């Protein structure tokens, strides 16, 4: 198990940990963190920490020099360094982010153009594309998107070295967000296996185990964001 429990098992909703540091901004850093920190277009997780004699509502998780900082919703007494705590994730919110993040990867399959930005939300997410003109047949795109969901493709991860990524720049679809580096290796998210593989790209976020878990998707409006950019919204209605 690593210190990032959300990578070891994105379905883990509770886990014990020990406080190893406080941040100057009033956050708590744990030795084994269940909470995903804001990054790559995905919001930080929320939930709470419980310990003997206290509890803390976690409004969000942010990247800090010491690790992932769990930030309370309001100033309050923090668990002391060395204290054992129990982490409780807002699982329903995390799971929606997982479903939507995987859905955005599918959207990049349906619209095979360079991605210039993106944002994961609970019910509405978006990708920005290097796309001079809006897509003409949105009904066909939406049908293809939901077909990929219905195929219930396996979603898995692989790891490659930074050098491997440099040798295969075509893996990177997103122009605005650099792949997560720094540890000497890069995590890849693969959708489908073998002949059924539809996508493979660097990503540090949380994803569902199979596309069938996403549920029905609906394409939203397409906005013009500059001469070459179009913003495409994606909705999760259940």
Q: Is the pLDDT of residue 1 over 50?
A: no
- Domain 5-89 and domain 94-236, same fold? Reply is no
Distance CA 27, CA 59 (A): 10
- Residues comprising the chain, all counted: 238
Q: What share of the chain is helix, strand, coil (3-state, %, to 5)?
A: 20, 40, 40
The correct CATH number of 94-236 out of 3.30.980.10, 3.40.50.2000, 3.40.640.10, 3.30.1490.190 is: 3.30.980.10
Question: What are the structural domain ranges in the chain?
Answer: 5-89, 94-236
**CATH fold of 5-89, please?**
Elongation Factor Tu (Ef-tu); domain 3 (2.40.30)
Q: Which helix (H) or strand (E) holds 133?
A: none
**Residue range 128-165, pLDDT digits in tens:** 999 988 888 889 999 999 999 999 999 999 887 777 77
**Residue range 114-125, pLDDT digits in tens:** 999 999 999 999
For residue 169, how far is the Cα from the chain centroid? Answer: 21
- The pLDDT assigned to 227 comes to 83
**Residue range 43-91, pLDDT digits in tens:** 999 999 999 999 999 999 999 988 899 999 888 889 999 999 999 999 9
Q: Is the pLDDT of residue 207 over 90?
A: yes
Q: Which helix (H) or strand (E) holds 6?
A: helix 5-8
Q: CA distances (Å), 123 to each of 26, 68, 103, in order? A: 30, 25, 11
- The pLDDT assigned to 105 comes to 97
Tokens 């100033």 belong to which residue? 75
98, 212 Cβ separation under 8 angstroms: no
Distance CA 61, CA 34 (A): 10
Q: CA distances (Å), 218 to each of 33, 122, 235, in order? A: 33, 14, 5
């Amino acid at each position: 198990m690593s210190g990032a429990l959300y990578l070891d098992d994105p379905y883990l909703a509770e886990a014990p940990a020990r406080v190893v540091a406080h941040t100057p901004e009033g956050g708590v850093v744990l030795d084994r963190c269940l909470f995903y920190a804001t990054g790559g277009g995905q919001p930080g997780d929320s939930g709470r920490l419980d310990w003997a004699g206290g509890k803390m509502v976690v409004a969000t998780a942010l990247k800090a020099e010491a690790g992932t900082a769990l930030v309370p919703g309001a100033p309050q007494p923090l668990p002391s360094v060395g204290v054992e705590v129990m982490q409780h994730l807002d699982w329903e919110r995390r799971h929606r982010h997982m479903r939507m993040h995987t859905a955005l990867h599918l959207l990049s399959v349906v619209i095979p153009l360079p991605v210039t930005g993106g944002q994961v939300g609970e019910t509405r997410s978006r990708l920005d594309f290097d796309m001079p003109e809006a897509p003409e047949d949105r009904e066909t795109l939406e049908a293809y998107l939901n077909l990929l969901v219905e195929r219930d493709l396996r979603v898995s991860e692989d790891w490659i070295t930074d050098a491997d990524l440099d040798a295969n720049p075509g893996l990177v679809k997103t122009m605005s967000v650099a792949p997560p580096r720094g540890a000497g290796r890069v995590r890849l998210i693969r959708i489908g296996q073998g002949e059924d593989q539809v996508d493979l790209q660097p990503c540090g976020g949380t994803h569902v185990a199979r596309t069938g878990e996403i549920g029905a998707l609906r394409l939203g409006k397409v906005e013009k964001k500059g001469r070459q950019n179009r913003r495409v919204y994606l909705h999760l209605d259940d």
